[in-house]
A and B are shown apart, each in its own frame.
Chain A
Amino acid sequence: MKLTEIVKSLNLQVACGEQQLDKEVCGGYSSDLLSDVMANSKKGDVWITLQVHPNVVAVAMLKEIAGIVMINGRMPEKETIEKAESEGLPIMTSDSPAFELVGRLYEMGISGKR
């Protein structure tokens, strides 16, 4: 499934990386602990988190995350957007809490297990 479909279905706002929304999503991971994401996320995951600082971009790039969804109406910091833009990493935002987003993604067939 492509990121565009997720953006549409979950009504996400696109903060950056609009040109990269045709990226394929293979699964999902939800965590706010960066070492946990480093250890347990997988290539092609969509990452659901409340973290908005620039270090999330390094984590996402190193783990080849397809895109980040920031929850609860949290907006990425300026440096986060700049870094993500230069790396071609899509960042989306939503007013919904993580539970809601993960549940909807699961319904769409995105799983945390592969």
Chain B
Amino acid sequence: MEMKRKGMKNRVLFQQEFEIQGGDFVNAGESSCKIRNTLREIGINSDIIRRIAIAAYEAEMNVVMYAQHGTMKINVYQDNILLIIDDKGPGIENIELAMKPGFSTATEEMREMGFGAGMGLPNIKKNSDVFQITSKVGQGTSLEIKILLNGKNG
């Protein structure tokens, strides 16, 4: 989709998109690693990269664990970075509950792998400046994560 141009401030300086396969635990996390490497190359401040890496990883893992398929898009603007994760999957019935630290529906198998602490969504929220989650049961979930770049962080 083409971004509407609203002057220089909203111009996309950089854009990348990744596919995430549900259930693929072997390659899980690779999109987040690629995003991190790219942000490093374009010279984004390391604290911002750390926050984006955490948010991207947790969002990517949730698609792998709970959904069938998803995409993760990163848009770098002059003054912010926007991560958008959309998935086709079961959706989330009660978002407020899902956001609660410790709440998890992870399977026993996932828990044995160290997933299912119920910290993913709270971690994402903690590391974003603006966080939006929307979901339709039986269809999928969308996350929008915005991290602001200012003089000292950008």
Binding site for B on A (CB under 8 A): 32-36, 38-39, 43, 49, 51, 53-59, 61-63, 79
Which residues of chain A are within 8 angstroms of B26 by Cβ–Cβ distance?
Answer: 54, 79
A-B contact pairs, 27 of them (CB 8 A): A32-B114, A33-B114, A34-B114, A35-B115, A35-B118, A35-B123, A36-B117, A36-B119, A38-B54, A38-B57, A38-B119, A38-B123, A39-B119, A43-B50, A49-B114, A51-B113, A54-B26, A55-B28, A55-B29, A55-B61, A55-B114, A56-B114, A58-B57, A62-B33, A62-B57, A63-B50, A79-B26
Which residues of chain A are within 8 angstroms of B29 by Cβ–Cβ distance?
Answer: 55, 57-59, 62
Which residues of chain B are within 8 angstroms of A54 by Cβ–Cβ distance?
Answer: 25-26
Which residues of chain B are within 8 angstroms of A38 by Cβ–Cβ distance?
Answer: 54, 57-58, 119, 123
In the complex, how many residue pairs between chain A and chain B have their CB atoms under 8 Å apart?
A: 63
Asked if B120 contacts A35 (CB within 8 A), the reply is yes
Which residues of chain A are within 8 angstroms of B54 by Cβ–Cβ distance?
Answer: 38-39, 62
Asked if B58 contacts A35 (CB within 8 A), the reply is yes
CB contacts under 8 Å to A, within B37-85, are 50, 53-54, 57-58, 61
With CB as the reference atom, state the residue of chain B lying closest to A31.
Answer: B114
Besides the known contacts A55-B114, A58-B57, 18 further A-B residue pairs in the complex with CB atoms under 8 A apart? A33-B119, A34-B117, A35-B115, A35-B117, A35-B118, A36-B117, A38-B57, A38-B123, A39-B126, A54-B25, A55-B25, A58-B29, A59-B29, A59-B57, A62-B32, A62-B33, A62-B36, A63-B50
Known interface pairs A34-B115, A59-B57. Does A39 touch B28 (Cβ–Cβ under 8 Å)? no
Asked if B57 contacts A53 (CB within 8 A), the reply is no
